[in-house]
Each structure stands twice: as structure tokens, then as C-alpha cells.
């Protein structure tokens, strides 16, 4: 996870004092990582409390952890620029321009998803999934595409999971959850009321919540126990989810692969068995495509 990129993406959601310290850290990372919290506060003309609040906003456990992550960025052998996508196509844009822009945007965003991934969060979530009674997956609109993909993948691994796209069923299902279950929510904005309502119910029942949402802090991330942040690359009033949807799917692929590696032999066996059953069904119906 690149802490510099995480801070940069979180800037719009920070308070003025948090923005002040964030900009100082971004402009002087090598200096910031060597200062005490009081010296850094003095250099940035903010209070130490503002630094603590910034750490909480970007989900860093302590100031010392922030300095360690800054050191990783400062001494990283690769220094890439933050990719800012642009979807302002001209009228009747040629296919080559459309395809090239979208491909380059996807490449840049996938790299940034990698910077935001947190190893501890990933493997803690894997452990909870493997030890849960069931995984209940929630998402509506474009986020439902990612939710369905996760449910399909967990099913192939033999992990009991459910997905309800209809909002009343989501509320009903959340009411029946217990601490033995896991609630997995998808919402790019993190403010979708149809998702926040069942999350609140699940939390009241003592259920752990994992969430895939945009970086920077939002209502969903404040409720979640495990947060998978994706780049804040699309306006909330966007014409349709494109890159944000692909970012969610990439996070699922990383999680799916991590689950497979925890028990490779059993996972491969389950994938092969499910694939064989579906392939056999298709052959019986005269379809030749491979599952």
C-alpha cells in the first residue's frame, strides 16, 4: 500500500487542518518521517490531534505506523505518478481513441488498486471467510455486478454464501445474521442507504463487516471492520460505473486467489468438480463452450 497515494486520494474528504498536515507530508515525506508528532505538528502549523485524526481517517493505526509507511514510499525504487483518468471524449470520437483511453485508464487504476491494498486486511478477511458459518453479500446497481461475482467465486470454492439484490430481502437477511456470519458489502460511494441500512442491522447483531468502497472515508468505511479501498476516480454523479466496477472486480480476484492459496489442494478440487458438472450439463444441452 502506498501511503502517499492513500493520503492524496483522501484529501477531498479531510478537514482543513487534516488537509494542512496531509499537504505537508506529501510535499516533504522524507522530513515528515523523521519528525516527532509534536515537531511535525509545529512544522505544519497544526495540532497533534489533527495528525491523529488524519491517521484515523486513512485507517493507519498510529503515527509511528504512518512514519514507517512513509519510509517505504521514500525509499521505494519505483516512483510512479498518480494516474488521473479523463473521460471527456469528443463527439463521434474514433474507436481507437475510445479504446486507447479506456485501456490506459484501466491500467493506471489497477496499479493504484495495488497501492491501496493492505496485506493485513486481505488475510484477516480470508481467515474470517474461512471460519464463518456463511458469507452474506450485498450490493445494488453497478456494485451488484461485483457482489454477484464474489458469490459465484465463493460458491465454486465450496464456501456457503448468499446474495440478495432486492433491498427488502437484504434487510430481512441482515436481521437473521449472527456473529458466526460475515457481512460483505459493495458500494462505490459508501453512502448508498439501501446498503447502509442492513449494515447497521448486522452491526447491531455483532456481525463482522467487510466492505469494498472508495478511498477517503465515508459512512460505509466507518462501519466496516475490514475495508478494501479502491481509487476515487469517478464522480458520484457519473454517467455509469466503468473503472470503479473494474476496480471492485480486481479486488475480488485478489481475494479469491488468496482464498485458493490457503488450501490449494481442496480449492483446486472444488473448482474442478464444479467446472465438470457445468460442462457436463452444457454438453447434454448441445453447448460446447468451456466453463
**pLDDT digits 0-9 by tens, 132-180:** 999 999 999 889 999 999 999 999 999 999 998 888 999 999 999 999 9
Going by the DSSP 8-state scheme, the letter that residue 182 receives in this structure is: E
Reported as a pLDDT band with limits 50, 70 and 90, residue 286 is: low
Predicted confidence at residue 36, as pLDDT, reads 87
Whether the model pTM is above 0.75: no
Whole-number average pLDDT of the chain: 86
Q: Which of 94, 112, 130, 98 is nearest to 258 (CA)?
A: 130
Instruction: Identify the pLDDT of residue 271.
Output: 86
Is residue 225 within 8 Å of 19, Cβ to Cβ? no
Best CA proximity match to 28, nearest among 64, 58, 73: 73
Q: CB–CB of 139/147 below 8 Å?
A: yes
| pLDDT band, residue 104 (cuts 50/70/90) | confident
Nine cell digits for residue 198? 442492513
DSSP code of residue 144: H
Among 75-84, 90-99, 249-258, whose mean pLDDT is lowest? Answer: 75-84
Question: Given pLDDT bands bounded at 50, 70 and 90, which one contains residue 289?
Answer: low
Q: Find the angle CA(15)-CA(17)-CA(20) to the nearest 5 degrees.
A: 110
Q: Would you state the pLDDT for residue 194? A: 93
Which of 39-48, 97-106, 221-230, 259-268 shows the lowest mean pLDDT across its residues?
A: 97-106
> Whose grid coordinates read 485508464?
105
Short-list 194, 66, 185, 79, CA closest to 136: 185
**Strand pairing category for 208-214 and 135-138:** unpaired
The pLDDT assigned to 291 comes to 47
Q: Indicate the burial class of 193 (C-beta count within 10 angstroms; 0-12, 13-18, 19 or more).
A: exposed
The greatest distance separating any two alpha carbons of the chain, rounded to the nearest whole angstrom, comes to: 73
pLDDT at 96: 83
Q: Considering only CA atoms, which of 202, 199, 238, 251 is closest in space to residue 220?
A: 199
pLDDT band at 81 (very low <50, low <70, confident <90, very high): very low
Mean pLDDT over 117-127 rounds to 95
Query: pLDDT-derived band of residue 231, with 50, 70 and 90 as boundaries?
Result: confident
pLDDT at 2: 82
With H, G, I as helix, E, B as strand and everything else as coil, classify residue 81: coil
| Residue 244, pLDDT score | 85
Q: How far apart are CA 58 and CA 187, in angstroms?
A: 18
Position 188 pLDDT exceeds 70: yes
Phi, psi of 136 (to 5 degrees): -105, 120
Q: For residue 30, what is the enclosing H or E element?
A: helix 29-32
Give SS3 for 140.
coil
> Using CA atoms, how far apart are residues 228 and 248, in angstroms rounded to an integer?
9
Amino acid at each position: 500500500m502506498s501511503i502517499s497515494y492513500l493520503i492524496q486520494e483522501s484529501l477531498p474528504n479531510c478537514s482543513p487542518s487534516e488537509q494542512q498536515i496531509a499537504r505537508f507530508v506529501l510535499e516533504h515525506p522524507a522530513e515528515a518521517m523523521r519528525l516527532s508528532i509534536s515537531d511535525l505538528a509545529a512544522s505544519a502549523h497544526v495540532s497533534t490531534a489533527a495528525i491523529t485524526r488524519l491517521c484515523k481517517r486513512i485507517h493507519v493505526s498510529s503515527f509511528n505506523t504512518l512514519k514507517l509507511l512513509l519510509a517505504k514510499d521514500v525509499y521505494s525504487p519505483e516512483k510512479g505518478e498518480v494516474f488521473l483518468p479523463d473521460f471527456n471524449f469528443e463527439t463521434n470520437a474514433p474507436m481507437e481513441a475510445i479504446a486507447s483511453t479506456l485501456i490506459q485508464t484501466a491500467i493506471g487504476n489497477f496499479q493504484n488498486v495495488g497501492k491501496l491494498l493492505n496485506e493485513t486486511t486481505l488475510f484477516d478477511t480470508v481467515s474470517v471467510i474461512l471460519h464463518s458459518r456463511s458469507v452474506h453479500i450485498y450490493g445494488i446497481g453497478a456494485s451488484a455486478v461485483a457482489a454477484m461475482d464474489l458469490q459465484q467465486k465463493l460458491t465454486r470454492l465450496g464456501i456457503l454464501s448468499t446474495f440478495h439484490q432486492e433491498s427488502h430481502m437484504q434487510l430481512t437477511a441482515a436481521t437473521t445474521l449472527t456473529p458466526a456470519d460475515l457481512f460483505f458489502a459493495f458500494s462505490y460511494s459508501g453512502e448508498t442507504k439501501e446498503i447502509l441500512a442492513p449494515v447497521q442491522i448486522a452491526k447491531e447483531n455483532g456481525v463482522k463487516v467487510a466492505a469494498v468502497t472508495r478511498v477517503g472515508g465515508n459512512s460505509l468505511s466507518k462501519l466496516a471492520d475490514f475495508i478494501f479501498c479502491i481509487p476515487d476516480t469517478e464522480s458520484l454523479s457519473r454517467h455509469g460505473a466503468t473503472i470503479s466496477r473494474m476496480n471492485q472486480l480486481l479486488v475480488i480476484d485478489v481475494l479469491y486467489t488468496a482464498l485458493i492459496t490457503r488450501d490449494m489442494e481442496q480449492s483446486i478440487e472444488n473448482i474442478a468438480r464444479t467446472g465438470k458438472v457445468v460442462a457436463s450439463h452444457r454438453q447434454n444441452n448441445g453447448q460446447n463452450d468451456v466453463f
